[in-house]
């Protein structure tokens, strides 16, 4: 029988810039004042990834004042105007991003039913899965060990690939939540039809509140 025990995980991360895009901002991107649930999940999985567990963020603590700045960069994205594409010219994208950020992130991992993994993992990975029954416990232990050693599956980024973190590791006693109070109407919570291995884009939104620098995910 598959264990459904929830194993807690946590980490701290710092960076010079962060971008947690708000879809309601339109063409000129604007970041939410705090990481989205899917962004935190992605950061956890950049430290350690396993296809046989579900990683569920529960809370984030904002440990520095929320500061924003305007940023612009050139892009050859497919959304360029036809004239720019024809001449192979870049377009200028302007965004409002966060800078000088620090977050404490919390969540838990839980085992997935192997039937939900078939088709999403290689044969070699499935053979490994059949040898063990409690991947969530293994994940939590390896996650903590990787944080202590500064190892990662991919270098963690704060929302987008350009916003590479400056540091990540275990929680530090020296950092505390900054007293931020912000109401965020319709924050993006989920992007896909399923929490794990979703096949369709089905965004879900919720009204959330940052209180004393703490955001609890629904």
CB 98 within 8 A of CB 160: no
CB 108 within 8 A of CB 114: no
Residue 122 in this model has a pLDDT that exceeds 60: no
Q: What is the pLDDT of residues 6-37, one digit of tens each?
A: 999 999 999 999 999 898 876 678 999 999 99
* Residues β-bridged to residue 182: 210
Mean pLDDT of the chain: 86
Structure confidence at residue 214 (pLDDT): 97
Structure confidence at residue 1 (pLDDT): 56
Given 3-state DSSP classes, what are the helix, strand and coil percentages for the chain, each rounded to the nearest 5? 20, 40, 40
Q: Which one, of 87, 107, 112, lies nearest residue 195 by Cα? A: 112
Domains of the chain and any CATH numbers: 7-176 (3.30.70.2660)
Q: What is the mean pLDDT of residues 188-207?
A: 78
Residue 114 in this model has a pLDDT that exceeds 90: no
Distance CA 122, CA 109 (A): 21
**The dihedral of CA 183, 187, 189, 193: what is its sign?**
positive
Other beta carbons within 10 Å of 185: 10
Q: What is the pLDDT of residues 29-83, one digit of tens each?
A: 899 999 999 999 999 999 998 888 899 999 999 999 999 998 877 767 666 777 7
Structure confidence at residue 79 (pLDDT): 66
CB 36 within 8 A of CB 60: no
Structure confidence at residue 201 (pLDDT): 79
Q: What is the mean pLDDT of residues 181-200?
A: 80
pLDDT > 90 in the chain, percent: 53
Q: Which one, of 169, 189, 136, 191, lies nearest residue 47 by Cα? A: 169
* CA distance to 86, 167, 195, 199, per residue, from 113 (Å): 49, 34, 13, 17
Residue 84 in this model has a pLDDT that exceeds 60: yes
Residue 129 in this model has a pLDDT that exceeds 60: no
Structure confidence at residue 24 (pLDDT): 82
């Amino acid at each position: 029988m598959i264990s459904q025990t929830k194993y807690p995980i946590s980490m701290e991360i710092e960076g010079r810039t962060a971008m947690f895009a708000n879809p309601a901002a339109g063409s000129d991107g604007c970041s939410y004042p705090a990481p989205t649930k899917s962004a935190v999940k992605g950061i956890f999985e950049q430290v350690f990834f396993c296809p046989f567990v579900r990683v569920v963020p529960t809370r984030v603590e904002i440990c520095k004042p929320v500061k924003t700045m305007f940023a612009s960069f050139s892009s050859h994205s497919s959304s360029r105007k036809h004239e720019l594409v024809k001449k192979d010219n870049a377009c200028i994208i302007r965004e409002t991003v966060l800078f000088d950020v620090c977050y404490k992130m919390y969540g838990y991992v839980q085992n997935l039913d192997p039937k939900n993994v078939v088709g999403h993992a290689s044969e070699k990975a499935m053979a490994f899965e059949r040898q063990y029954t409690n991947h969530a416990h293994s994940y939590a232990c390896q996650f903590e060990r990787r944080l202590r050693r500064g190892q990662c599956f991919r270098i963690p980024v704060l929302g987008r690939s350009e916003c590479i973190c400056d540091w990540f590791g275990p929680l530090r006693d020296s950092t505390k939540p900054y007293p931020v109070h912000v109401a965020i109407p319709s924050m993006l919570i989920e992007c896909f039809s399923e929490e794990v291995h979703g096949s369709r884009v089905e965004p879900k939104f919720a009204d959330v509140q940052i209180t004393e620098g703490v955001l609890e995910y629904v």
